[in-house]
């Protein structure tokens, strides 16, 4: 075996598979796949967004987090800045968010992938960009899950003539599933990146196009913001769960610590003796999710350092207090009030890779819901991270310039005796935490094969509502209502419950599963 890869689209996975077949390692394949995802999954992520990766290098005997999420720009706010509200229609729910040039944060993806290639790759960036450049020129096929996203984000993809033209056919009709669309201008920018390296996006020609567009159309990103962006290399959070070790990103990831906390709570419950999706199992998951939200303010509070924050939140004394509460609730006691949290960026994708040597990469990227414009003269669509209310609790544009924004994204690594056993991650705002949590429990506690662990129906608890995915019986919904839960029933598997793209070692062989909820795919090379 040369390697194994899972991601959010068959075309994304094919790019990484191509590099593995040519002798690339896990980092090479992941980088090629991420660049390809900007074309194949353009409504889920963008080269002008942000990301987080966990990388394991066998030769260095080291695992580290690469933080290349977005920064707050330093331009001064003004009356004429481009920042306006739009509404999205999910069918059963509607949402409002802000887009425009002044919703764009400073992107870190090009810098992050370039650093990853330099530190851990074996192939030049120029070679790793070839699949993405070819896809942008020749076109990619829209998947049903991305058509679904385009439909409920129509207001964003019709906000400016340029982005409207990119996502419509020549006759003005919508791009539909199964149809091809090309991104020739983006291909040109990727060629510049391949020839000139990351400086093209930080100080070179592409950077100048971004800055000119920001200046002329009411944006806040400055030349200093692009030139001074720094990729951060951090130690992962490490916890034990049953007989395995798990690695998560720390700040700017909020999700990593919260998933770690939830697993430590569940470790006090003998889940393995329960029937899968029985009332007891669902209740244990729901109350763990509730208590994690109750505990979250301590994590969100300021700390002197990342290490201090981790120690304060994940120490045994703190966790045991919540384990005791969980025990009492499951025995019929009262639960505490759950604080309300705004919805985070939902449109996110993930790639998991392991190579023949055991090197691994889990990388999650996002551009929010898109800022609704294309940088003039390019094919670049920016993120709208400054228009996401949950990232700005004190109000929009209040965070200090240069501040790294926080994210729920949490690429997750499962190790046993120091060797990788499973790499996974998910999109889905706060639901990505519950998706990853349940995938881990399904594999470790219920011994499910990866395919079943990923596609077993999920639950999500938040804001006082228990969501039951399609496939969970009506009788079970009534059982949970009898226990006092307000239940929201879903008819089918749905991308609301995340998209967990994962690879895992099963019976001595690696397998790959892309979550069908978000059009995922996997391949073994």
Cα 252 from Cα 70, distance rounded (Å): 10
Closest CA to 520 of 453, 455, 434: 455
* Residue 229 buriedness (CB in 10 A; 0-12 / 13-18 / 19+): buried
Query: How large is the greatest C-alpha to C-alpha distance in the chain, in angstroms?
Result: 64
468: β partners: 459, 489
Give phi and psi for 502, each to the nearest 5: -145, 155
- Structural tokens at position 68: 């290349």
- Structural tokens at position 139: 């076109």
Q: DSSP state, 518?
A: G
Question: Is 277:354 a contact under the CB 8 Å cutoff?
Answer: no
**HSE, side-chain direction, 13 A CA sphere, residue 400:** 2
Question: Is 269:323 a contact under the CB 8 Å cutoff?
Answer: no
Cα 351 from Cα 33, distance rounded (Å): 7
The secondary structure of the chain in percent helix, strand, coil, rounded to multiples of 5, reads: 40, 20, 40
407 is catalytic: no
User: Could you tell me the CA-to-CA distances from 316 to 89, 235, 239, 250, 313 in Å, in that order?
Assistant: 43, 20, 11, 18, 9
Which residue, chain included where needed, has tokens 């070819």?
134
Cα 524 from Cα 506, distance rounded (Å): 13
Catalytic residue among 45, 348, 365, 366: 348
Cα 266 from Cα 280, distance rounded (Å): 12
Residues 6+ apart with CB under 8 A from 277: 456, 457, 459, 472, 476
Question: Is 242:444 a contact under the CB 8 Å cutoff?
Answer: yes
Residues labelled catalytic: 348
């Amino acid at each position: 075996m040369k390697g194994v890869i899972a991601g959010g689209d068959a075309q994304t996975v094919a790019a990484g598979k191509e590099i593995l077949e040519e002798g690339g390692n896990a980092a090479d394949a992941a980088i090629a796949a991420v660049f390809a995802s900007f074309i194949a999954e353009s409504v889920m992520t963008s080269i002008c967004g942000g990301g987080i990766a966990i990388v394991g290098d066998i030769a260095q005997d080291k695992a580290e987090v690469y933080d290349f999420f977005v920064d707050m720009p330093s331009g001064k706010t003004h009356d004429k800045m481009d920042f306006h509200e739009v509404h999205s229609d999910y069918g059963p729910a509607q949402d409002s968010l802000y887009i425009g040039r002044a919703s764009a944060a400073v992107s870190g993806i090009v810098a992050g992938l370039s650093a990853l290639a330099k530190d851990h790759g074996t192939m030049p960036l120029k070679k790793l960009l070839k699949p993405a450049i070819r896809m942008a020129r020749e076109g990619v096929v829209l998947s049903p899950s991305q058509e679904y996203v385009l439909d409920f984000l129509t207001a964003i993809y019709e906000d400016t003539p340029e982005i409207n033209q990119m996502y419509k056919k020549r006759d003005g009709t919508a791009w539909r599933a199964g149809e091809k669309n090309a991104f020739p201008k983006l291909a040109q920018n990727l060629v510049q990146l391949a020839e000139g390296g990351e400086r093209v996006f930080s100080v070179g020609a592409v950077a100048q196009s971004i800055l000119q567009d920001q200046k002329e159309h009411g944006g806040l990103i400055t030349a200093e913001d692009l030139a001074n962006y720094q990729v951060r290399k951090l130690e992962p959070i490490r916890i034990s769960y049953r007989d395995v070790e798990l690695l998560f990103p720390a700040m700017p990831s909020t999700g990593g610590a919260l998933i770690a906390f939830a697993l430590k709570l569940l470790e006090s419950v003998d889940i393995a003796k329960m029937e899968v999706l029985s009332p007891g199992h669902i209740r244990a998951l729901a109350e763990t999710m509730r208590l994690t939200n109750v505990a979250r303010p301590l994590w969100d509070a300021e700390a002197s350092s990342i290490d201090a924050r981790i120690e304060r939140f994940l120490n045994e004394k703190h966790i045991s207090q919540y384990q005791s509460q969980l025990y009492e609730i499951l025995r019929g006691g009262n639960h505490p009030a759950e604080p309300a949290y705004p919805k985070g960026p939902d449109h996110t994708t993930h790639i998991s890779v392991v190579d023949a040597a055991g090197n691994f990469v889990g990388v999650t990227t996002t551009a929010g819901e898109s800022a609704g414009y294309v940088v003039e003269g390019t094919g670049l669509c920016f993120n709208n991270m400054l228009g996401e209310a949950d990232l700005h609790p004190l109000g929009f544009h209040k965070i200090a310039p240069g501040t790294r924004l926080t994210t729920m994204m949490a690429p997750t690594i499962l190790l046993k005796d120091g060797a990788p056993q499973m790499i996974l991650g998910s999109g889905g705002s706060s639901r990505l935490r519950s998706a990853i949590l349940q995938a881990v429990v399904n594999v470790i506690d219920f011994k499910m094969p990866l395919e079943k662990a990923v596609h077993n129906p999920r639950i999500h608890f938040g804001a006082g509502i228990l969501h039951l995915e399609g496939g969970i019986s009506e009788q079970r919904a009534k059982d949970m209502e009898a226990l006092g839960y307000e239940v929201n029933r879903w008819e089918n598997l749905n991308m609301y419950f995340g998209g967990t793209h994962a690879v895992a070692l099963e019976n001595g062989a690696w397998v790959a599963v892309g979550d069908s909820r978000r059009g995922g795919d996997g391949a073994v090379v």
